[in-house]
Homo-oligomer: A and B are copies of this chain.
Amino acid sequence: MKRGRPTIEQVAALAGVSRGTASRVVNDEPYVSAAARAAVLKAVRELGYVPNQAARSLVTRTHETVALVVSGEADDPRLSEDPFFAEVIVGINAVLAETDLELMLMLGANERARTRLLRRLRSGQLDGVMLLALPGADPLCRLAEESGAPTVYGGRTMDGEPRYFVDADNRGGARKAVEHLLVQGRQRIVTITGPVDNEVTHARLSGCLDALGGGADPVVMHADFLESGGYQAMQSLLHAHPDLDAVFAQSDNMAAGALRALREAGRRVPDDVAVVGFDDLPWARHTAPPLTTVNQPIRAMGSEMARMLVALLGGGEPTSLILPTRLVLRESA
């Protein structure tokens, strides 16, 4: 049974006023007498009236809905292995909770999902879009902007800086990590990075080079941000540079892999080899030894993205943000 919900017309009838008046009351508009307002409110309560959002959207052209689109593979480890994704959402939600905006979630998993996503974007049922740019360049970015809805980015993409974005200070964080290793007197520092075409890899590598200052030429091994990648990279590095005494891994997952490879190779951490990670995932304190790593304010990234979008929706002109990262000293370096 498709129960018919009460319409504003019925509310108006019960309250003994016109639709126009009832509508004004429901939307908290001025120019309604106290008496009429009370009557309408009473009728609303009695009937259990809830406005039909579709009808409202049709005429107001607003949808009270924004989307978070994640333009990565469905299997991207940052989606499931890391709490990254969830943290961003929690941050977003905290801000949206103070508004009347609902959150739509779009993971660009397969081709069909992407098509649908695009269609939804263009069908104009979204007031704004937050784009979490996981991989390098993604055509989705362009398309999101073409949809005409205000768009803010989480992270920057390879091809140029978006108009509105929130990013973590990846470069500065990496610099601090490597500087810490240098201050300790480490002589032979190697770096394990993410995929080459990745903006995050790029930024963290820049920071690393900033610290190294171009003295000796740096040893860089590209991997994939994953534990297994870090493990393999570490093995190769140990083989190629047996004299290494410090490793900066661009992610905690890779640092965990490096730790494992080091343990198997009989190197002591941090005595023989110092290890620094990046991300400060919740489990970083549980590794053996506890991991020194760079913390990035993931939740804040989410809330700042949302705040920025809300500002945009309100006609404001927010400025892009680079959030600070900080080195968390534990025992691995």
Contacts and interface: CB of A to CB of B under 8 A. Distances in A.
Contacts of A55: 54, 58
Interface stretch (A110-118, A194-202, A311-319): A110-118
Contact of A50 (B82, B87, B119): B119
Interface stretch (A31-39, A178-186, A233-241, A281-289): A281-289
Interface stretch (A91-99, A131-139, A166-174): A91-99
Query: A-side binding surface: helix, strand, loop or mixed?
Result: mixed
Interface string A82-126: 110111011001101110101111110110110010011011110
Interface residues of A, number: 60
Interface in A55-98: 55, 57-58, 61, 63, 65, 68, 74, 79-83, 85-87, 89-90, 93-94, 96-98
Nearest to A103: B105
Interface in A32-55: 48, 50-55
A-B pairs, 6 with minimum CB distance:
A283-B283, A288-B288, A54-B57, A97-B113, A86-B86, A54-B58
Interface of A: 2-3, 5, 48, 50-55, 57-58, 61, 63, 65, 68, 74, 79-83, 85-87, 89-90, 93-94, 96-98, 100, 102-107, 109-110, 112-113, 116, 119-120, 122-125, 148, 256, 259, 281-283, 286-288, 299
